[in-house]
């Protein structure tokens, strides 16, 4: 498969494969040893690999002369608490040469380490620190995996779905001690329970003078 075939339609037939589909086929062929799936999703190429192959896959797509995904735009994670592999690591790559985007996805289990991408893209440094801070995903081989957004001694990882909205620790300025202090959050349980019903769904009593003509079940009583 030549570079010309990737940059242009392979034929004049309008029903032929698009450049994205041709690129996806090329990625399936070149990364057959590690690519679990490769499809065109919402105008972008989505590639799924094992978490252990993340760094190798990023290097492959960067160094492939036809693919040339030479920029790492962003990386983040998504939390699915009910899944066996709880997290998805997501890497957004850009090919300026082909004007295409690639989304690399790897499922990660609780406590599973992911190879750091800092050896492939220096831009991954702070982004991986943010993911560690917010989700608790450990990146093996990262040169300085410290929290990035929360304070030292912070408990938990705020973007996990099971993290309480109130947090565990309150940070405030104490006038008597004249310094910032950390102390546990004390809230009664009622403030931690949320009713997701709308005001109308949650109402069980009828208002005086309410017009029930639109509801035959109530007017029949």
- Whether residue 194 lies inside any domain: the answer is yes
- Whether residue 219 lies inside any domain: the answer is yes
Report the C-alpha gap between 71 and 163 in whole angstroms.
Answer: 33
Residues 104 and 68 in one domain: yes
Residue 148 has pLDDT above 60, yes or no: yes
Residues 203 and 107 in one domain: no
- Whether residue 154 lies inside any domain: the answer is no
Residues 108 and 51 in one domain: yes
Structural domain that includes position 212: 159-221
Residue 212 has pLDDT above 70, yes or no: no
Per-residue pLDDT averaged across 122-126, rounded?
96
pTM above 0.85, yes or no: no
Per-residue pLDDT averaged across 192-214, rounded?
57
Task: Assign 3-class secondary structure to the chain.
Answer: CCHHHHHCCCCCCCCCCCHHHHHHHHHHHHCCCCEEEEEEECCEEEEEEEHHHHHHHHHHHHHCCCCCCCEEEEEEEEECCCCCCCEEEEEEEEECCCCEEEEEEEEECCCCCEECCCCCCCCHHHHHHHHHHHHCCCEECCCCCCCCCCCCCCCCCCCCCCCCCCCCEEEEEECCCCEEEEEECCCCHHHCCCCCCCCCCCCCCCCCCCCCCCCHHHHCC
Last residue of a domain, one of 126, 149, 172: 149
Last residue of a domain, one of 101, 126, 149: 149
The residue among 121, 5, 4 whose CA lies nearest residue 60 is 121
Residue in the block written with tokens 């790897």: 106
Residues 123 and 221 in one domain: no
How many structural domains comprise the chain? 2
Residues 103 and 13 in one domain: yes
User: Which sign, positive or negative, has the C-alpha torsion 24, 30, 34, 36?
Assistant: positive
Residues 204 and 132 in one domain: no
Residues 76 and 122 in one domain: yes
pLDDT (tens digit per residue) in 22-44: 999 999 999 989 999 999 999 99
Residues 119 and 204 in one domain: no
Residues 187 and 127 in one domain: no
Last residue of a domain, one of 128, 149, 170: 149
- Whether residue 181 lies inside any domain: the answer is yes
CATH, residue 27: 3.30.460.80
Choice between 108 and 9, residue whose per-residue pLDDT is larger: 108
């Amino acid at each position: 498969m030549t570079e010309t075939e990737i940059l242009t339609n392979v034929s004049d037939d309008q029903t032929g494969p698009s450049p994205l589909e041709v690129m996806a086929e090329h990625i399936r062929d070149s990364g057959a040893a590690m690519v679990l799936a490769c499809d065109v999703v919402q105008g972008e190429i989505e590639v799924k690999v094992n978490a252990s192959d993340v760094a190798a896959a990023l290097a492959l797509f960067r160094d492939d002369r036809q693919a040339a995904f030479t920029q790492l735009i962003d990386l983040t994670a998504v939390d699915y608490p009910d899944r066996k592999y709880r997290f998805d690591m997501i890497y957004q790559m850009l090919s300026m040469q082909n004007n295409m985007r690639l989304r690399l996805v790897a499922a990660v289990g609780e406590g599973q380490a992911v190879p750091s991408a800092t050896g492939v893209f220096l831009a991954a440094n702070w982004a991986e620190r943010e993911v560690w801070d917010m989700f608790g995903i450990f990146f093996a081989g990262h040169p300085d995996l410290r929290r990035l957004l929360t304070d030292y001694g912070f408990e938990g990882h705020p973007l996990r779905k099971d993290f309480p909205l109130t947090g565990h620790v309150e940070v405030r300025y104490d006038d008597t001690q004249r310094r910032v202090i950390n102390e546990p959050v004390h809230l009664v349980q009622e403030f931690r329970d949320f009713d997701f019903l709308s005001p109308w769904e949650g109402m069980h009593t009828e208002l005086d003078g309410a017009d029930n003509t639109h509801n035959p079940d109530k007017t029949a009583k």
